[in-house]
């Protein structure tokens, strides 16, 4: 094109290209897996037709000239066509990143509101998702159009005619320091800037450019897409995520398409140096590349050197580097090095630079083959000079006059490429775009906010004006501090560091936030902190006050990749960063994770794309899942039908499986979603808000069903089962509870006998094994017949000897079928064993702990649904005094519900995050999460029903089903009362894990100390009051219960204090937690110190007999229907036992088959007459002596006939006693024997044969009563 024929608008430009180069390829878009790359192409003529069709779509929807149209299209050919279609329609395009989640949509809604965009164009694959998200924002009134729908329309005949001064698009940019602003870029700005770029790059129509830059940002849109349109040459594009995941693909495309042009920010070249292997390097030919521009962030001399040296073998020439400078307010290009001038590098005095002075130490022409960094110096790379009518000057910050050469000031720009200003921001437009210098009021300049100087007509950028670090009166550039880390600490992510001042401290404090490379997250984080301090000191002679290590992707950046330091500072103060470790000079220590006293270990075993850290990647997946669930709930779920028919429809199970909901924790290599605990908890909560049955179905399959297999199955079995479980083609169930062992896990009667061939013969009955009738694999736990522990086995329902029993009709969660499971000498191969032999209880306990957190997450979702319904009703219900919502009692109830939700949500998020980081949480924490979640949900459901009044009793009004379903949580995985007793027992009998966790991880040392002191005081008061409580044993249980009650609120208080300090929850939740903790202490002290005796069992028996006489035997039956009542509740249990309540089969005395092996040790207690009476007596005396010493504070009178129930034995003491006994007699003893043999005499008769005449070691009850037990006690489950 000649100057005379040069188009004045982009519309004219495209029409010219379609007419003159119509058949030439304009754009190629690369996608797909690296090994199966797909390439879509489009000619200039095809682009012209696409744009005309998009213009037709917009006109069809009443879009007029000057209207703003938001572009939410993904990178690709559709995006290019949509952008040009907006211009053909005369509209103002507003490019924006397609939202990855609902939070991003809120920001986009802000852009829509600011721009006044009534129309939105998006890609076909994003239309449904964007529509759902948009409906929840203030932009819900905008028209959302699928750009793919334009292909069926006839192209417009004539594009809209607009003037060059007409705004072509709004470039929304947040910059590195501020909030998003829309830069108004006109057609004239673009045509002028594209002309400058043509002169700078010196391309021709045979050129090819390869780029991965985001098309929503000026560098990708103008510097690539529009530059190739202006030049009439080919542009090869790929999505940014493709480069981030595989930097090699960028250079491979350059090599394959013989590109002579490319460009990217500095970090991209550095990333290639780090992440492209020698094998990949050997496949590249970069000799075609003559221009590789480097801009958008500070250009590092070391990057130019490293890349040139690394890729010289591939033919890359160092003189191809073109450092440049630009910004959205200047359209794009401001200055750049051209091929006629070599790369110019200055080494300047660092101390002088801090005083805003330039003292030259050395100058280098061309890219140096050796590093130029020296102590006391800073290396600055020239970003070239400006051309044409552009003018670049530097102004003095104090005098506002033009600076001389070598004087640092603010860079200012004037010329036709400078944009018109910020959309609808007149004040900021005037201050930024209309600035005049002292003594020259005729010339207006645009202030860039960047600092720099000019030397020999070349521009050098030294930093950002707002990012200056001032320490002891000296100025330091954030870029210099960050660069010290990049070159000094290779374990950190390039372009992943932010240095800034603490704006919330009275003293001068430098804070450094640095991303740790994914491969280094398991490394020594303390050493990384030391290396950061040393690197900054070595280069700048200063020390940071605080160092924070974070996950990759945590440091916020602009769309062009610049670090947003002010946003990072805000996120750090708000607790929004994923912190791996930190150090603070005021504390004098470095603490992994937020104030954590123990190393935070990242979770292992899942793969994530290298583009994002696990949290962001999982978060986007969960956002999509939850959005889908909300839509699915409205269109495909009928909770009433599920409840009434007592089953989940097949289509729901299939759809959940196809969406990955039934295999969320399974790693992606096996077809699962690879989600962490935090993100799974979000899904559980969302499901619970929709339907409790579905929430429990999904949660228990993912925890109790999958976790034992995923974590404890042998590799062959795991690889066989996980793909089917991940896809939902197979369900998994968990079977541990038995008719006589609900809250008493150690009383399990099922037996597994090991045969000579290694197989297991399993007999027993399991009860309440949810979904076992549907499961393809059932995790069964049984005692080993030799008495050495428990074994876990993955059992297939079709195995001979395995029978699914009848369904038990439940009060709530009706759609999730509860069955019994019968095993009659079922032969299970050892390949199906879960965990080690004898360690089945550990496997089960691990799964139950994860499930307890899941129950808490379900409770959060259920409570939010209660809150939604209560508020909805209160805001609509008119009462005598006005709206029910305005009633003080209503506001009190809803306010407390809000605080309950915030507190429990904070606890779940904290614990889930800890698990994701690999922290070994005390089991007490997960126990407490389950207890609190269950109780608070049940309370909320009851309040919902009461709040709705008579409407709450109507089945169709949601509340009855919510009420029934919520009731399950208080008994599932152990009744609340039993768990609280267990929790208190752990605290009083050797486990100090919870108080230590409060101290080290939550900084709640005062709470921990108070909890220990309360335990000692309550124990003492309980013994003093034992007579009124029914004896020392019952007093111990009573104390345990009330101490457990205090402990649960103590943990919640510590977590809410942390969350409130990070401003993640309001003060109301903190005050609520404090009040509940204080009330728990008052109640415990009052109840343990009862002044009147509790009613005795004998008195209760007499009273119950009288009640029976008064009301009679009234159990009902209906002819033709089975109405079996549990024998423990039946008036005549003997009559119905044979009819339907199967007895637990005894373990076989001898196994069947030729490979049965030796007979097992007897399970029943042996008659003393058959044993060495002296050895039995020795064991009895040892047990009496040990128990007397260990429980001497209870003042018990022990004999051989004393029962463990009378003694007040619990699982903590059982574990402790069997450990000491095993050491004393050099034998292995299972703690569950205490429940199989309930008295000292019976247990001694059982243990004596195993001692083989060994004399016991001296009695040592417990050398350190405060030392924690190394064995976790096992509380109850349902």
CB 159 within 8 A of CB 55: yes
pLDDT at position 323: 97
- Per-residue pLDDT band at 1 (split at 50, 70, 90): low
Half-sphere exposure of 171 (CA within 13 A, CB side): 32
Q: Write down the CATH superfamily of domain 345-414+434-592.
A: ANL, C-terminal domain (3.30.300.30)
What would the mean pLDDT of 699-724 be, rounded to a whole number?
Answer: 93
Those residues whose C-beta lies under 8 Å from the C-beta of residue 1022, and which sit 6 or more positions away, are 1029, 1035, 1036, 1038, 1039, 1088
**Inter-CA distances, 62 with 56, 544, 676, Å:** 10, 57, 46
Those residues whose C-beta lies under 8 Å from the C-beta of residue 441, and which sit 6 or more positions away, are none
Q: Which tokens belong to 1146?
A: 């005894």
pLDDT at position 395: 94
Higher per-residue pLDDT: 1259 or 328: 328
pLDDT-above-70 percentage for the chain: 85
* pLDDT digits 0-9 by tens, 540-599: 768 898 999 998 888 988 766 778 888 898 888 888 787 888 988 776 545 544 333 332
Higher per-residue pLDDT: 493 or 20: 20
pLDDT at position 1230: 67
pLDDT at position 439: 81
What would the mean pLDDT of 88-100 be, rounded to a whole number?
Answer: 90
**Inter-CA distances, 282 with 66, 249, 395, 421, Å:** 52, 14, 48, 48
What would the mean pLDDT of 904-927 be, rounded to a whole number?
Answer: 91
Q: Which of 168-182, 270-284, 719-733, 918-932 has the lowest mean pLDDT?
A: 168-182
Those residues whose C-beta lies under 8 Å from the C-beta of residue 1167, and which sit 6 or more positions away, are 1245
Q: Which of 371-385, 643-657, 680-694 has the highest mean pLDDT?
A: 680-694
Strand ordering across the sheet containing 333-336:
38-43, 25-31, 234-238, 208-211, 261-264, 291-294, 321-326, 333-336
- Per-residue pLDDT band at 647 (split at 50, 70, 90): confident
pLDDT at position 831: 94
CB 1231 within 8 A of CB 1214: yes
pLDDT at position 1102: 87
pLDDT at position 505: 65
What would the mean pLDDT of 746-757 be, rounded to a whole number?
Answer: 87
pLDDT at position 595: 37
What would the mean pLDDT of 512-537 be, rounded to a whole number?
Answer: 84
Q: Which of 22-36, 967-981, 1035-1049 has the lowest mean pLDDT?
A: 967-981
Q: Is pLDDT above 70 for 214?
A: yes
Pick from 60, 104, 53: nearest CA to 78: 53
- Per-residue pLDDT band at 1267 (split at 50, 70, 90): very low
pLDDT at position 62: 92
Task: Report the distance separating Cα 335 and Cα 899, nearest Å.
Answer: 56
* Domain spans, the chain: 345-414+434-592, 976-1094, 1168-1251
Length of the chain, in residues:
1278
Q: Which of 224-233, 485-494, 586-595, 1224-1233 has the highest mean pLDDT?
A: 224-233
Q: Which CATH architecture has domain 1168-1251?
A: Orthogonal Bundle (1.10)
* pLDDT digits 0-9 by tens, 257-293: 999 999 999 989 999 998 999 999 999 999 999 999 9
Pick from 92, 93, 84: nearest CA to 55: 84
CB 172 within 8 A of CB 94: yes
Higher per-residue pLDDT: 1251 or 236: 236
Mean pLDDT of the chain: 84
* pLDDT digits 0-9 by tens, 170-205: 998 754 444 568 999 999 999 999 999 999 999 999
- Find the radius of gyration of the CA atoms of the chain: 36
Q: Is pLDDT above 80 for 490?
A: yes
- Per-residue pLDDT band at 35 (split at 50, 70, 90): confident
Q: Is pLDDT above 90 for 4?
A: no
DSSP summary character for residue 1090: -
Q: What is the pTM of this model?
A: 0.51
CB 827 within 8 A of CB 853: no
* pLDDT digits 0-9 by tens, 1108-1165: 888 888 877 655 544 565 666 666 665 544 444 444 333 333 333 334 443 333 333 4
Please state the separation of Cα 851 from the chain's center in Å: 17
What would the mean pLDDT of 763-776 be, rounded to a whole number?
Answer: 82
- Per-residue pLDDT band at 1065 (split at 50, 70, 90): confident
pLDDT at position 131: 80
Q: Is pLDDT above 60 for 755?
A: yes
CB 1233 within 8 A of CB 1209: no
* pLDDT digits 0-9 by tens, 492-519: 887 889 999 886 665 678 999 999 987 7
Task: Please provide residue 766's backbone torsions phi and psi, each rounded to the nearest 5 degrees.
Answer: -110, 150
Q: Is pLDDT above 90 for 398?
A: no
């Amino acid at each position: 094109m000649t100057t005379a024929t040069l188009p004045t608008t982009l519309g004219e430009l495209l029409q010219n290209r379609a007419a003159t180069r119509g058949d030439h390829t304009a754009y190629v878009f690369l996608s797909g897996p690296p090994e199966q790359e797909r390439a879509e192409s489009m000619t200039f003529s095809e682009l012209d037709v696409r744009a005309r069709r998009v213009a037709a779509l917009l006109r069809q929807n009443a879009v007029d000239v000057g209207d703003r149209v938001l572009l939410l299209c993904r990178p690709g050919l559709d995006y290019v066509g949509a952008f040009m279609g907006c211009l053909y329609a005369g509209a103002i395009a507003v490019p924006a990143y397609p939202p990855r989640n609902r939070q991003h949509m809120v920001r986009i809604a802000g852009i829509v509101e600011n721009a006044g965009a009534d129309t939105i164009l998006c890609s076909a694959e994003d239309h449904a998702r964007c529509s759902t998200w948009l409906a929840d924002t203030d932009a819900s009134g905008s028209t959302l159009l699928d750009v793919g729908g334009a292909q069926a329309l006839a192209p417009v005949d004539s594009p809209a005619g607009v003037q060059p001064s007409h705004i072509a698009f709004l470039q929304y940019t947040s910059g590195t320091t501020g909030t998003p602003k829309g830069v108004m870029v006109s057609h004239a700005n673009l045509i002028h800037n594209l002309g400058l770029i043509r002169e700078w790059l010196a391309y021709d129509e045979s050129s090819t450019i390869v780029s991965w830059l985001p098309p929503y940002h000026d560098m990708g849109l103008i510097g690539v897409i529009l530059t190739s349109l202006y030049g009439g040459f080919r542009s090869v594009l790929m999505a940014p995520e493709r480069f981030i995941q595989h930097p090699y693909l960028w250079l491979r495309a350059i090599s394959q398409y013989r590109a002579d042009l490319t460009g990217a920010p500095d970090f991209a070249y550095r990333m290639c140096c780090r992440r492209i292997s020698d094998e990949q390097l050997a496949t590249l030919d970069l000799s075609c590349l003559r221009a590789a521009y480097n801009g958008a962030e500070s250009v590092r001399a070391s990057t130019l050197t490293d890349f040139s040296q690394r890729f010289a073998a591939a033919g890359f020439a160092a003189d191809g580097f073109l450092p440049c400078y630009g910004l959205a307010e200047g359209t794009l290009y401001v200055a750049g090095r051209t091929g006629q001038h070599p790369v110019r590098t200055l080494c300047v005095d660092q101390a002088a630079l801090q005083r805003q002075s330039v003292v030259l130490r050395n100058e280098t022409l061309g890219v140096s083959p050796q590093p130029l960094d020296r102590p006391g110096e800073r290396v600055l790379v020239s970003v070239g000079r400006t051309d044409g009518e552009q003018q670049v000057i530097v102004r003095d910050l104090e005098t506002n006059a033009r600076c001389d050469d070598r004087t640092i000031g603010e860079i200012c720009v004037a010329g036709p490429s400078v944009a018109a200003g910020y959309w609808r921001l007149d004040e900021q437009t005037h201050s930024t775009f209309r600035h005049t210098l002292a003594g020259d009021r005729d010339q207006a300049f645009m202030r860039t906010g960047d600092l720099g100087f000019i030397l020999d007509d070349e521009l050098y950028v030294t930093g950002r004006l707002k990012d200056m670090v001032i320490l002891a009166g000296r100025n330091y550039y954030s870029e210099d501090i960050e660069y010290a880390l990049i070159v000094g600490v290779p374990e950190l992510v390039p372009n992943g560091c932010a240095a800034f001042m603490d704006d919330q401290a009275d003293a001068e404090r430098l804070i450094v936030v640095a991303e740790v490379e994914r491969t280094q997250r398991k490394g020594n984080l303390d050493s990384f902190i030391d290396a950061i301090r040393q690197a900054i000191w070595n280069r700048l002679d200063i020390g940071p006050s605080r160092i924070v290590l974070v996950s990759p992707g945590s440091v916020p950046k602009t769309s062009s990749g610049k670090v947003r330091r002010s946003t990072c500072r805000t996120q750090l103060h708000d607790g929004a960063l994923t912190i791996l470790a930190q150090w603070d000079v005021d504390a004098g220590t470095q603490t992994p994770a937020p104030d954590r006293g123990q190393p935070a270990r990242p979770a292992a075993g899942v793969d994530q794309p290298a583009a994002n850290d696990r949290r962001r990647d999982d978060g986007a997946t969960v956002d999509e899942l939850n959005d889908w669930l909300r839509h699915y709930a409205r269109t495909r779920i009928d909770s009433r039908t599920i409840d009434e028919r007592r089953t989940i429809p097949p289509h729901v199970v299939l759809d959940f499986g196809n969406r990955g909901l039934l295999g969320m924790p399974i790693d992606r290599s096996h077809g699962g979603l690879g989600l962490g605990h935090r993100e799974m908890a979000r899904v559980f909560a969302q499901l619970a808000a929709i339907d409790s049955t579905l929430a429990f179905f999904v949660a228990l399959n993912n925890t109790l069903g999958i976790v034992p297999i995923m974590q404890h199955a042998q590799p062959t079995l795991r690889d066989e089962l996980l793909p089917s479980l991940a896809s939902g083609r197979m369900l998994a169930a968990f079977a541990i509870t038995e008719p006589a062992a609900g809250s008493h896990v150690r009383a399990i009667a099922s037996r597994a006998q090991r045969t000579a061939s290694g197989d297991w013969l399993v007999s027993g009955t399991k009860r309440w094994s949810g979904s076992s009738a549907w499961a393809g694999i059932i995790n069964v736990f049984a005692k080993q017949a030799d008495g050495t522990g428990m074994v876990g086995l993955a059992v297939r329902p079709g195995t001979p000897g395995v029978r699914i029993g009848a369904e038990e009709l439940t009060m709530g969660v009706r759609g999730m079928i509860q069955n019994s499971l019968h095993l009659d000498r079922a032969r299970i191969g050892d390949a199906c064993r879960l965990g080690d032999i004898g360690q089945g209880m550990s496997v089960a306990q691990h799964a139950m702990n994860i499930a307890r957190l899941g129950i808490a997450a379900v409770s959060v979702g259920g409570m939010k649904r209660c809150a939604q319904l209560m508020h909805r009703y209160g805001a609509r219900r008119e009462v005598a005094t006005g709206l029910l919502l305005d009633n003080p009692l209503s506001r009190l109830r809803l306010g407390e519900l809000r605080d309950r939700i915030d507190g429990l949500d904070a606890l779940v998020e904290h614990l889930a995050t800890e698990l994701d980081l690999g922290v070994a949480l005390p089991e007490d924490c997960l126990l407490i999460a389950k207890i609190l979640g269950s109780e608070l949900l049940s309370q909320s459901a009851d309040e919902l029903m009461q709040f709705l009044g008579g409407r709450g009793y109507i089945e169709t009004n949601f509340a009855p089903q919510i009420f029934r379903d919520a009731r399950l949580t208080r008994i599932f995985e152990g009744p609340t009362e039993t768990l609280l007793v267990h929790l208190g027992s752990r605290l009083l009998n050797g486990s100090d894990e919870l108080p230590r966790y409060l101290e080290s991880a939550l900084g709640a040392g005062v709470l921990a100390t108070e909890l220990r002191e309360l335990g000692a005081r309550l124990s003492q008061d309980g013994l003093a009051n034992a007579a009124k409580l029914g004896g020392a044993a019952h007093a111990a249980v009573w104390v345990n219960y009330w101490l457990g009650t205090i402990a649960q609120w103590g943990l919640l208080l510590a977590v809410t204090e942390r969350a409130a300090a990070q401003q993640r929850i309001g003060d109301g939740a903190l005050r609520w937690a404090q009040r509940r903790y204080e009330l728990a202490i008052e109640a415990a002290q009052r109840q343990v110190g009862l002044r009147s005796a509790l009613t005795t069992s004998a008195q209760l028996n007499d009273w119950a007999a009288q009640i029976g006489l008064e009301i009679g035997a009234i159990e009902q039956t209906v002819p033709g229907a089975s109405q079996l009542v549990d024998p423990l509740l039946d008036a005549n249990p003997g009559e119905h036992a044979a009819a339907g309540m199967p007895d637990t089969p005894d373990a076989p005395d001898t196994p069947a088959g030729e490979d049965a092996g030796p007979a097992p040790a007897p399970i029943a207690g042996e008659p003393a007459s058959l044993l060495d009476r002296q050895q039995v007596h020795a064991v009895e005396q040892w047990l009496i002596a040990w128990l007397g010493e260990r429980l001497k504070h209870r003042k018990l009178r022990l004999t051989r006939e004393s029962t463990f129930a009378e003694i007040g034995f619990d699982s903590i003491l059982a574990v402790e006693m069997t450990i000491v006994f095993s050491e004393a007699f050099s034998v292995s003893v299972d703690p569950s024997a205490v429940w199989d043999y309930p008295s000292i005499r019976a247990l001694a008769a059982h243990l004596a044969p195993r001692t083989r005449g060994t004399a016991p070691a001296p009695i040592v009850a417990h050398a350190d009563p405060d030392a924690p037990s190394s064995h976790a006690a096992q509380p109850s489950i349902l």
